[in-house]
Amino acid sequence: MKIVVIQGPNLNMLGVREQNIYGPMKLEQIHAQMKEVATQNGVEIEFFQSNLEGELVDKIQECYGDADGIVINAAAYTHTSIAIRDAISAVNLPAIEVHISNINRREEFRKENMIAPVCTSSVVGFGPFGYHLAMMGMFQIMNEIKAAQEAQTAQQPA
C-alpha cells in the first residue's frame, strides 16, 4: 500500500511562520514522524510540497494508478481551488484533508472549503498531530477497502 502526502503553499515555512497558529515543528519533522508510522505499518509513503497550484494538481493526478490514498493539506488553496477539488475527484482515491489550525475558527474566508466535499474525511485543529490522525484514518480506510475486495473475490464462482 502507498500513501502520498501532498502539502500546499507556505507549508515549507512551518516552524518559521506564525508559530502562534502553526506551532514550532518544521515540515521535515512532521514528515519524519509520518515516515516512521508508515514504516511500522508496512506502508510506502511519498511526500510532495509545492507553492504552485498546477504542481499540486499534477501530483494528485500522478497518484492515479500509483497510490492507494492521499493525505493532503492544500493550505490556502483549500479556500480557492476548484482545480485541486476536480483533481481529487478525478483520481477517485481515498483522500484525507489535514489542516494544522482549526480553519473553522479563523477568518471568515477560511470557512469556505472547496476540497472537503470530495475528500473522504478531514482532520482540522489538532496541530501537527493531525497528520498522525490522518495516517491512522487512512490505514483504516485501506484495510476496509482490502477486506471488501477480498469478500467480493471470495463470492465469485471459481
Q: Which domains does the chain have, with CATH numbers?
A: 2-155 (3.40.50.9100)
Q: 92-108, pLDDT tens digit by residue?
A: 999 999 999 888 776 67
- Cβ 84 vs Cβ 60: under 8 Å: yes
Q: 33-86, pLDDT tens digit by residue?
A: 999 999 999 999 999 999 999 999 999 999 999 999 999 999 999 999 999 999
Q: Which of 62, 122, 120 is nearest to 94 (CA)?
A: 120
- Cβ 97 vs Cβ 69: under 8 Å: no
112 confidence band (pLDDT: 50, 70, 90): confident
Q: Report, as residue numbers or ranges, the catalytic residues.
A: 22, 99
Query: Within 13 Å and on the Cβ side, how many CA atoms surround 143?
Result: 9
- Cβ 87 vs Cβ 62: under 8 Å: no
Q: What distance in Å separates the CA atoms of residue 125 and residue 47, rounded to the nearest whole number?
A: 21
